[in-house]
Amino acid sequence: MVSPKILLPCRPFHARLRNLIPLDLYWIFLAKGESLSDERAPIVQNAVEQLQTQSTMASSSITQVSRLTGIPRAGVHRIMRRHLHLYPYHFTLLQNITEEDKEQPVKFANMLLDNEEIVPNILWSNEANVSVDGIINKHNCVIWSREASHECLTHNRHSPHLSVWMGFSAKRLLRPFFFDAAVSVDSYLHML
């Protein structure tokens, strides 16, 4: 029960605004610590059971599960975390690296250490590939699990794809270029 010490400061407030505040909600809040009734408990329990029966829930996004179940995204996320104790884990993306791929960065680093004055003359570049096999975006690949699964995805770097290349140096920024194949020395020379 609520102590009289709590009620004393509230009486002048209720005397002025008696009709504006539903007193039953006020007393429920003081007694339970929340103003919500227990009518929501079966709804939440039904939603938890509905999510537990989804066979694809572990590898689906929250948006997909929300569409399948009709439960709002925030509700799906809350149920997965609080009631089912599932947490999102991202894949680790691994590439098929050959022995030649391992030697090239070491050679480049040694060349830079020997010739530090050429750094302002270097054209730094990057490329993005859109693969025929499908884009693997590790930020969107999520596994919902109780513990980290340490799952890894492997993909072939040499599948057919479209490449987008862009470069910059200390002096300028180069516009994007599109290639039908992987960017190589020959395609760089042809582009320049």
Domain that holds residue 1: 1-37
pLDDT tens for each residue of 119-161: 788 888 777 766 666 555 555 566 666 666 665 555 555 666 7
Please choose, from the candidates 60, 82, 50, the residue with its C-alpha nearest in 3D space to the C-alpha of residue 144.
Answer: 60
Region 15-42 average pLDDT: 61
In this predicted structure, what is the pLDDT of residue 56?
A: 47
Question: In this structure, are 137 and 76 located in the same domain?
Answer: no
Measured CA to CA, the distance from residue 59 to residue 144 in angstroms comes to 7
Cα angle 36, 38, 44 (rounded to 5 degrees) comes to 95
> Are residue 2 and residue 81 in the same domain, yes or no?
no
Domain identity same for 143 and 55: no
For the chain, the domain total comes to: 3
What's the rounded Cα separation, in Å, for the pair 45 and 79?
10
pLDDT the model gives residue 55 = 47
Tens digits of residue pLDDT in 71-85: 888 888 888 788 778
What is the average pLDDT score of the chain? 70
pLDDT at 26: 67
Q: Are residues 98 and 183 in the same domain?
A: yes
pLDDT, tens only, 93-118: 667 777 888 888 889 889 888 988 88
| Pair 96, 158 in one domain | yes
User: What's the pLDDT at 124?
Assistant: 83
pTM of the model: 0.36
Shared domain check, 182 and 107 = yes
- As a whole-number percent, the residues of the chain with pLDDT over 70 amount to 48
Per-residue pLDDT band for 17 (boundaries 50, 70, 90) equals low
Whether the CB-CB separation of 83 and 50 falls below 8 Å is answered with no
